[in-house]
A and B are shown apart, each in its own frame.
Chain A
């Protein structure tokens, strides 16, 4: 008969019968004295008792059957589960020698074992059910439960031997009561020994971004060593959200040092904590740097960048060829000219093959692959040095041969956030985020009623997935 933990009731007679077990709510009273006799598994026996609230004791765990995760101490034996469950369940491979497991919650220190989650056991079928969905025992992963469906955690303490007879429910965590205990190196659900990473994983490291590389570094020793020592992985460093707001000068230097002087492309997007001195340290130790992209790094100054470029030139080094500085402080004409000179902009191919830059709502940061020397240019209208956008609209392209008349910075020529066409002479709608949408794009929105002039609550999520605001104070 299936056992529902969320009921927190004894479902079988726990009077010494081999077919008995009982479940207690963590904060619930015992279900009769006989069940208490099984109470070797009482939490009090293994450590400090939990602090419980008397009132909470009396409350059912999940009165409305909402499948809320509840913590229930399981006091009893499961040997009948072993007998009843199918052999289709896989062994939890519990190894006495590998008992130490992190108690992730700390709260459960001293508990015998703990079930966190509401699940139904169907031991005779060898499956577990949650919310009506059956999970075959061999679907358990290393945590003993299929975490795609549950956040259940098994934790136990004390008498490990008791559990050796228990059913096979994947991994059990033995808690030493200390959160700093090592995570359990358990055998996985299918009984295969955990081991070192396959060679194939190391090939894949080159396809990971910085954040994932830093995560992989924490997996095991061989991956840590590989991530730290393989300079090829750090030849091109791209820092974007969510790391951009977190990275400091020191952290950047540590990462750049992993390239062992071979850093070629450094891209820091909206890295508001990076300072001139921090960037300078990185540049000085990486003379082979070819592409530097620092859009939105508001603490950087153009003067400092000029110093770095001059230093490269003075030592005869090939120096930086591609520079992206849109969004840092305003550039004067003199600075722009010197930047072009130091980047050898005259020799670049962009003179002959101008690549269209289309506005797309997010700052149009050109990738490291782009061939032009510098991303900003003088806006034909306001003459300030900024990103200047082309127009994808055919009507604009048809009218003018060389440059589109609407070709200008985003302030001088507002554009549709979706398609990038100019909206100066067209009707447009303003979204909730104060972006502009041309009428064609406006009509294509999923929730848009096909009526002109309707200004209902606009849904701009399809065009702007993430909106964030950074406030930087500097002086």
Chain B
């Protein structure tokens, strides 16, 4: 996988990507191969037409490619990257979800980890009610089920 430390290949070869809402993007190979999917495509020979990505919308794809661009830049320091990532992932829940699912679909490990950790940070330390509120989740337990779960983990709740 092309890591951020390897020199950017100036082959000039670009990949054409098409989002599910028909937005087209052109990216350099060195940037695109942050995604394992594209990496394998590049290694096996790229297809002619634009690569369709039916699971990613244009807005999200644009963000993802922006992230890939930054991470493919060999001149950037680790500190700068960390700062960039912190700002990049500080987004609304809906955008965060889209980024996470796109990173999973495109198999971009670092971005997936970044997004997952952000979601995890939003969960950590909260009570079940607070988690429900934060993520807009309906409590679909019956009273009996709720009691059963509470009892199962009662040891962890006590003082």
Listed in ascending order, the chain A residues whose CB lies under 8 Å from chain B are 141-143, 180, 182-183, 185, 188, 192-201, 203-209, 211-212, 214-221, 223-224, 243, 246-248, 251, 254
Contacts and interface: CB of A to CB of B under 8 A. Distances in A.
Contact of A141 (B127, B133, B137): B133
B115 interface: yes
Nearest to B155: A251
B87 interface: no
Nearest to A228: B152
B55 to A, nearest CB: 12
Contact of A218 (B133, B150, B158): B150
Contacts of B150: 218
Contact of B138 (A211, A218, A220): A220
Interface stretch (B12-20, B70-78, B96-104): B96-104
A94 B133 CA distance: 16
A102 to B, nearest CB: 10
Contacts of A205: 120
A15 B139 CA distance: 42
Contacts of B125: 212
Given A203-B104, A215-B123, A251-B156, 8 more contacts: A142-B132, A196-B137, A197-B135, A201-B119, A218-B128, A218-B150, A220-B141, A221-B141
Contacts of A199: 97, 101
B136 interface: yes
B123 A208 contact: yes
A307 to B, nearest CB: 27
22 contacts: A142-B133, A182-B143, A192-B136, A193-B138, A195-B138, A200-B96, A200-B115, A203-B104, A203-B119, A204-B120, A207-B119, A208-B120, A212-B125, A215-B126, A215-B127, A217-B149, A218-B128, A218-B146, A219-B139, A220-B138, A221-B141, A221-B145
A212 B116 CA distance: 14
Interface string B105-142: 00000001001110110011111110111011111110
Contacts of A197: 135, 137
Ranked nearest first, the 9 interchain pairs of A and B with the lowest CB-CB distance are A204-B119, A207-B120, A194-B138, A218-B128, A200-B97, A200-B100, A142-B133, A204-B120, A251-B155
Interface string B78-91: 00000000000000
Nearest to B143: A182
Given A141-B133, A200-B96, A220 B139 contact: yes
Nearest to B120: A207
B153 interface: yes
Contacts of B101: 199-200
B37 to A, nearest CB: 17
Given A200-B96, A204-B123, A246-B156, A185 B139 contact: yes
Nearest to B117: A207
B143 A203 contact: no
A232 to B, nearest CB: 13
A219 B132 contact: yes
A220 B132 contact: yes
Contacts of A201: 119, 123, 135
A212 B145 CA distance: 19
A197 B101 CA distance: 14
Nearest to B131: A219
A216 B135 contact: no
Contact of A212 (B100, B123, B132, B136): B123
Contacts of A247: 155-156
A40 B13 CA distance: 76
A220 B137 contact: yes
Contacts of B139: 182-183, 185, 219-220
B137 A204 contact: no
Contacts of A183: 129, 139
Given A142-B133, A204-B116, A198 B97 contact: yes
A211 B155 CA distance: 11
A215 B149 contact: no
B156 A214 contact: yes
A112 B100 CA distance: 45
B32 to A, nearest CB: 23
A208 to B, nearest CB: 6
Contacts of A243: 156
A243 B137 CA distance: 26
A250 to B, nearest CB: 8
Contacts of A248: 155
Contacts of B152: 217, 254
B154 to A, nearest CB: 9
A124 to B, nearest CB: 28
Interface string B11-42: 00000000000000000000000000000000
A361 B149 CA distance: 38
Contacts of B104: 203
B100 to A, nearest CB: 4
A198 B135 contact: yes
Nearest to B150: A218
